[in-house]
Amino acid sequence: MIKNKKSPFTLHSKSTDCAARRGEVKTLHGTFQTPIFMPVGTQATVKSVTPGNLKEMGAQIILGNTYHLFIRPGHELIRSFGGLHNFMNWDRPILTDSGGFQIFSLKELAKITEEGAAFRSHLDGSKLFLSPEDAVHVQEALGSDIMMCLDTCIPYPATREETVKSTDLTSRWAKRCREAQSETGQLLFGIVQGGMHPDLRQAHAEALIDIGFDGYAIGGLSVGEDKSMMQDMTEATIPHLPEDFSRYLMGVGTPEDLVEGVYRGVDMFDCVMPTRNARNGTMFTSKGKVVIKNARYREDKEPLDPNCDCYTCRNYSRAYLRHLFQSREILSYHLNTIHNLHYYLHLMARIRKAIENDNFTAFRNDFYGRLERE
């Protein structure tokens, strides 16, 4: 096990009237500014955009997935290319999820035991196994800057007994992950579980802090509970995480979720929502959602969002974007994704500026005011 070391997170400023904070995280492939949104590149690609596109829109760090890359093309093949950065031509930080959520999502193909997760490939049904140690070693082979511990995701709803049992297993797995970590310079984050029970989340956060990680994630949310419960559990967990380490709310969410997470003290977010919704024709704008297939846009000469300066909004009309989507042209996915990711990333840039100026609460009120006016 690596001895506890200095936190890679630096806190620069805090809001005086809420828990929002501004900082940065140092990694092997550079430093990224927080609060941050990480575009999801599950299979070593953020769907339908290039690394160049991501840099142009201001992406500082992206996410890959251990489960998917373990199955295809395989971590040893990626290691032979010098790691994920070389393999996909991305020279900025990468975070890899451990695969715990994917195994949870495919629970009919998986069996969880003390040793780890035995599961069948969703591609060909072949038998596979991932232990906590395997999860760390696979991520070390991938060369990601931030690795996540293998955890057991708790369904919603779940009984308290089920939650305790699953959370305790996650604690034991977290300790094994920490002991398996090599001195590669890669960071390892622990994941706080505990279901919808504030006391269990507090106890689990304290257990992970005793083990000692480079950052702490809040897991097991956005699994079917309502928004208010998700926010309550975030709020119940944050005070029990160390202030001098980064806090990552996993798998969340809508633009409103990001604003609310930052308000409660979250530093890092990821979600497939902007890319998935782009492919389904739902666009995020400064005036709310636009469903581009709607007939009202058939002859609309205006850009998707008049307040946006992304490549898509600078060059194309809503009518053209609707035509591409209705025709199922591949360019539709590309242009829509550029816009949605640009919207998310620039929302976070505006949030960082608001925190620096200590007016985030006013920013939050204005954000909701604009949506209500529309």
CATH number, domain of 186, equals: 3.20.20.105
Asked whether residue 254 is assigned to any structural domain, the reply reads: yes
Reference 9, options 17, 27, 18; nearest CA is 27
Query: What per-residue confidence (pLDDT) applies to 99?
Result: 82
Residues 305 and 237 in one domain: no
Query: What per-residue confidence (pLDDT) applies to 4?
Result: 57
Asked whether residue 4 is assigned to any structural domain, the reply reads: no
Asked whether residue 54 is assigned to any structural domain, the reply reads: yes
Q: Which of the 8 DSSP states describes residue 358?
A: T
Split into its structural domains, the chain has a count of: 2
Q: Which residues of the chain have pLDDT under 50?
A: 1-3
Catalytic residue among 232, 270, 300, 366: 270
Beta bridge partners of 27: 30
Asked whether residue 1 is assigned to any structural domain, the reply reads: no
**Tens digits of per-residue pLDDT, 76-126?**
999 999 999 999 999 999 999 998 888 877 777 789 999 999 988 889 989
Residues 157 and 60 in one domain: yes
Catalytic residue among 97, 134, 145, 214: 97
Query: What per-residue confidence (pLDDT) applies to 5?
Result: 65
Residues 144 and 293 in one domain: no
Query: What per-residue confidence (pLDDT) applies to 340?
Result: 98
Reference 218, options 253, 242, 194; nearest CA is 194
CA–CA gap between residue 346 and residue 363 (Å, rounded): 14
199 is catalytic: no
Backbone φ and ψ of 195, nearest 5°:
60, -140
CB 98, CB 64: distance < 8 Å: no
Residues 116 and 251 in one domain: yes
Asked whether residue 165 is assigned to any structural domain, the reply reads: yes
Query: What per-residue confidence (pLDDT) applies to 3?
Result: 45
Q: Which of 237, 271, 305 is the last residue of a domain?
A: 271
Query: What per-residue confidence (pLDDT) applies to 1?
Result: 40
Helix (H, G, I), strand (E, B) or coil at 343: helix
Helix (H, G, I), strand (E, B) or coil at 142: helix
Q: Which of 219, 252, 271 is the last residue of a domain?
A: 271
Residues 313 and 355 in one domain: yes
Structure tokens at 233: 């559990």
* Kind of pairing between the strands at 94-97 and 146-148: parallel
Structure tokens at 300: 């609309």
Half-sphere exposure of 370 (CA within 13 A, CB side): 13
CA–CA gap between residue 33 and residue 36 (Å, rounded): 6
Residues 64 and 162 in one domain: yes
Residues 175 and 321 in one domain: no
Asked whether residue 218 is assigned to any structural domain, the reply reads: yes
Structure tokens at 152: 């057991």
Supply the range of the domain harboring residue 307. Answer: 278-373
Structure tokens at 247: 């806090």
Residues 263 and 329 in one domain: no
Residues 129 and 84 in one domain: yes
Q: Which of 271, 293, 317 is the last residue of a domain?
A: 271
Asked whether residue 88 is assigned to any structural domain, the reply reads: yes
Residues 87 and 226 in one domain: yes
pTM check: above 0.95: yes
Task: Identify the burial level of 4 via C-beta atoms within 10 angstroms of its C-beta, where 0-12 means exposed, 13-18 middle and 19 or more buried.
Answer: exposed
Beta bridge partners of 357: none
**Tens digits of per-residue pLDDT, 231-253?**
999 999 999 999 999 999 999 99
Residues 164 and 85 in one domain: yes
3-state helix, strand, coil in the chain (%, to 5): 45, 20, 35
Query: What per-residue confidence (pLDDT) applies to 110?
Result: 84
CA–CA gap between residue 47 and residue 41 (Å, rounded): 7
366 is catalytic: no
Residues 297 and 162 in one domain: no
Helix (H, G, I), strand (E, B) or coil at 148: strand
Asked whether residue 2 is assigned to any structural domain, the reply reads: no
